[in-house]
Copies of this chain bind each other. A is one copy, B any other.
């Protein structure tokens, strides 16, 4: 089905970011998203929430109405409707309005409140707006390529936490707050990640010695995920640099923010989103 004039224009405004109208729409939308997220945050604050109940109720429906209209327009003007509805953003857009309507039917609304918070995911539309996709891509690709090493690392950390947790349960015992092995494992995770809440702390000398070992190990293995990501990120960045090629003299190796070829001064092409297969 070829797009008619209105649909095509709507598509450019709503999905595009290149036309002034498209940019203005996106900026407006970002502010609406941020305001609606702030609204849900504010509702739960006792002091504020109970005083301005009617204002919040009104604003909630203003945003719900706004997002409903936007959602319908998106469905109306998208080239492939089914693809949009079942895409990640399509589902997030639906989740941003559904809880408000469901709250009319069901009354135990606190679970719905949390689902409503998922509209915060729409913030990622910002990335599209300000041309950060390439940087986000590099980060995602680095994380994705190190996924197996990170999984190996997490398995080891978990096994370590379970063993140390069991030992601490044995050494300190329920009397000092280590009431069960799961709680001891929780304490070990709190300690090995260097969070250290301090709600449970070792009281015996032996316990404190083992806790010290746990911390020093945690301190050391904090290096491993950093090492994994850094090594991958450095190779991604150097790969991206070597892929930037001048159209005139065909020298490669230009910086990500270079505008002119450093060999012949020719204007470099717009930075491309580089896919793996490139």
Chain B binder among A11-19, A57-65, A83-91, A161-169: A161-169
Among candidates B117, B143, B189, residue contacting A162 with C-beta atoms closer than 8 Å: B117
A55, CB-defined interface residue at 8 Å: no
Please list the residues of chain A having a beta carbon within 8 angstroms of any beta carbon in chain B.
37, 40-46, 49, 110-111, 113-114, 117-118, 120-121, 123-124, 126-127, 132, 135-136, 138-139, 142-143, 145, 148-159, 162-163, 166-167, 169-170, 174, 179-183, 185-186, 189-191, 193-199, 201, 205, 208-209, 211-212, 215-216, 218-220, 222-235, 237-238, 256-257
CB distance from A277 to the nearest CB of B (A): 10
| B-chain residues with CB within 8 Å of residue A127 when the two chains form the complex | 152, 155
Nearest first, the 5 closest Cβ-Cβ pairs linking A and B are A195-B196, A197-B198, A227-B230, A117-B166, A223-B226
Instruction: Determine if B155 and A124 form an interchain contact, defined as CB atoms under 8 angstroms apart.
Output: yes
| B-chain residues with CB within 8 Å of residue A138 when the two chains form the complex | 149
